[in-house]
A and B are shown apart, each in its own frame.
Chain A
Amino acid sequence: MNVLRSFYLVVRRDPLLMTCAVFVLVVTTLAIWGVNHTGYDANQISNASLQWPSRAHWFGTDLFGRDLLTRTLYGARFSLLIAAAATAISLGVGVSYGMISGYIGGRVDNLMMRVIEILYALPTLILVIVLVATLEDPATRLLQSMGFRGVQPRVVLLFVFIGLTEWLTMARIIRGQVLVLRQQVYVQSSFALGQSHVKILWRHLLPNLSGIILVYLTLTIPAAMLDESFLSFLGLGVQAPKASWGTLVSEAAGLINPIHSYWWMLLFPGAMMALTLLALNFLGDGLRDAFDPRSSGRQ
């Protein structure tokens, strides 16, 4: 609640940030609720193949005569879902890793930071490609044994592994903050009063990190979204008939030819995605300027 409140306090001051926040909110609402209210089914094939945008089909139709507006919103669902889930994973891993490393300090800290350096120097997305392409069978079995039948294993693999690639920066920043915070008098004194380590981390350090967590959370969502679209574009992401923005753009890519221009196929999903990413990046930048003024301008 605290985090949401500080988010609102920052955003309220700047009309541009407000616009971005509203835009993201609108896209999310449309993705969740709007898909069922366009008058078309996202997977319904019709004879009206590759039609120009018109009053009946605002964004036109695709190769199979599906309404592109519905498809774009339907794709938004998966793009947003995977980005949000991946961000949650990277948040959990990054924050706990950074907090533990910074709080314990010394040798452990040194080792944990060395691990991060090594991971930074790895071709992580390349490894994610290999992991997603090869682990589909075990993932399917695991999901079935857990009773999830309607879930695509790919989707789960995507957000787990994208989540596991995007936590490094978060861990580093959190660790740096914890190193400073744990020297503060109030932390020292609560330790002297016999507070346990877990409670100090949870009660005293975490609330003080919420601003910075919020900033990197906002910046991780677009990064995860880009990763997902990259994998989906290569055919390693969400599988048909389900769609994400990446697969929609890759469908458009297959239709580029010199004779016919199916510009709406590329323009609408592409623009929707770019605008959402822009809005999220804008929010992240704005929040960083507010919560972490010293780092403004960097990266």
Chain B
Amino acid sequence: MAAIIIRRLLQAIPVLFIIVSLTFVLMHNAPGSPFTTERHIPAPIMAELEKKYHLHGTFAQQYGAYLGDLLHGDLGLSTQYRNRTVNEIIGQALPVSMVLGTLAYAFALLAGTTLGGLAAVRQGRPRDRLIVLAALLGISIPNFVLALLCIRVFAIDLNLLPVAGWGSLDQIVLPAFCLSVPFIASITRLTRGGLLEVLRLDFIRTARAKGLSETAVLFRHALKVAILPVVGYSGPAVAGVLTGSIVVETIFGIPGIGPFFVNSVLNRDPFMTCGVVLVFGLFLILCNLATDILYFVIDRRVNLQ
């Protein structure tokens, strides 16, 4: 087990190296310099600037300097947010995004399995059909349309919740909900599908024959097996949470990592962009590994290779 985890982590290094290098090359060759402003910058100052940000010399020198910094855990200086290091910005923004993403996904798991269960026990009946339709709608409505709709209705027209911002509990409700909707929908569908398959199996009949209550059959026996596809889905879903949070954070004005990332790409901030790509990539790989381990712990038949 430990050997497999270590091997997977070692495999992650070349993958991360490739995507960071790719990003660096792309940002380096993109038109426009990170220091372009309306004012003309005199050549000596430009040279000093480039030196300060390790952007002087040939491409190989710059790339080498950046890789050297990376190995020391230094993600470089942001060219857009002057005088701030990328480490500092990510250090402040990442926890915000993680709180939002974790809350949203936790809520999605809770709501999704509940709805999926409610639908599966009434297969083909109106309640089931309604939930299936709602889940499909949840997958079909783009995050940002839903977020804008929620702001309009709940924040402006009904004045129930704040429009934007971050810090208080009521400011979390709308963004977390909007972020979670597509995942609620997917998890509902997965749970329902899993339960429908499991509820037909022999061990469920045995459980019922023993005289267990329907709730006990469902929660103690069926759900344990039926939840497996949801666990498998959770790893790749983290990627969706990340991209979804970019939009949600932008709309709700949340100081998470998403808006920083979009701004850094648009403003040709090479180190910030590479840093965020690296962090996202690492995060995703770790989450996928965690999911696989969890999957293995729940279902020993799974091969971790």
Contacts and interface: CB of A to CB of B under 8 A. Distances in A.
A278 B139 CA distance: 8
A22 B236 CA distance: 33
B140 interface: yes
Interface in A72-94: none
A258 to B, nearest CB: 5
B178 to A, nearest CB: 13
Interface stretch (B22-30, B66-74, B216-224): B22-30
A133 B266 contact: yes
A62 to B, nearest CB: 15
Interface residues of B, number: 56
Interface string A123-141: 1111101110111110000
Interface stretch (A95-103, A170-178, A197-205, A227-235): A227-235
Contacts of A123: 239, 242-243, 277, 280-281, 284
User: Which has the most chain B C-beta neighbours within 10 Å: A123, A125, A133, A266?
Assistant: A123
Contacts of B156: 256-258, 261
Interface string A246-278: 100110110011100101001000100111011
Given A123-B277, A126-B242, A230-B243, A253 B144 contact: yes
A261 B262 CA distance: 28
Contacts of B137: 274, 278
Interface residues of A, number: 49
A122 B281 contact: yes
A129 B148 contact: no
B247 A252 contact: no
A131 B26 contact: yes
A282 interface: yes
A234 B246 contact: yes
Interface stretch (A27-35, A37-45, A291-299): A291-299
Contacts of B285: 121
A230 B194 contact: no
A211 interface: no
A263 B151 CA distance: 12
6 contacts: A118-B15, A130-B265, A130-B277, A253-B251, A258-B156, A274-B141
Interface of B: 15, 19, 22-23, 26-27, 29-31, 136-137, 139-145, 148-149, 151-152, 156-157, 163, 186, 189-190, 192-194, 196-197, 229, 233, 235-236, 239, 242-243, 246-247, 250-251, 261-262, 265-266, 273, 276-277, 280-281, 284-285, 288
Interface of A: 118, 120-127, 129-131, 133-137, 222, 226, 229-230, 233-236, 246, 249-250, 252-253, 256-258, 261, 263, 266, 270, 273-275, 277-278, 281-282, 285, 296-299
